[in-house]
Amino acid sequence: MEERIQNLEKEVELLKERNLRVESEKAWEVSLTRRLFIAISTYIIAGVWLIVINDSFPWLKAFVPAVGYLFSTLSLPFIKKWWIKNQSKR
């Protein structure tokens, strides 16, 4: 009996650790830090590409995909809510 209780306590601890890890990963997925890092990376990559192909005003034009990415992340929570609501009707 004592051994069974110890096993259950160990399983509960493992589940708590897993839940903390999953919560941290979810927090990272929706974090402003992650979004800004991706937007800045997109800006730099687009700017370099536009320079390589000799486009005019490369750093100005590189804002388009970076800002587009940020706008898309702002709209996703609303779309997600709508999608979840409509999925539950099925």
Instruction: Convert the pLDDT of each residue in 6-61 to its tens digit.
Output: 999 999 999 999 999 999 999 998 899 999 999 999 999 999 999 999 999 999 99
Burial string for 66-77 (b: 16+ CB within 10 Å, else e) reads beebeeeeeeee
* Predicted pLDDT of residue 34: 94
Per-residue pLDDT for 86 more than 90?
no
Is the pLDDT confidence value at 77 over 90? no
Q: In the structure, what pLDDT confidence band is assigned to residue 90 with cuts at 50, 70 and 90?
A: low
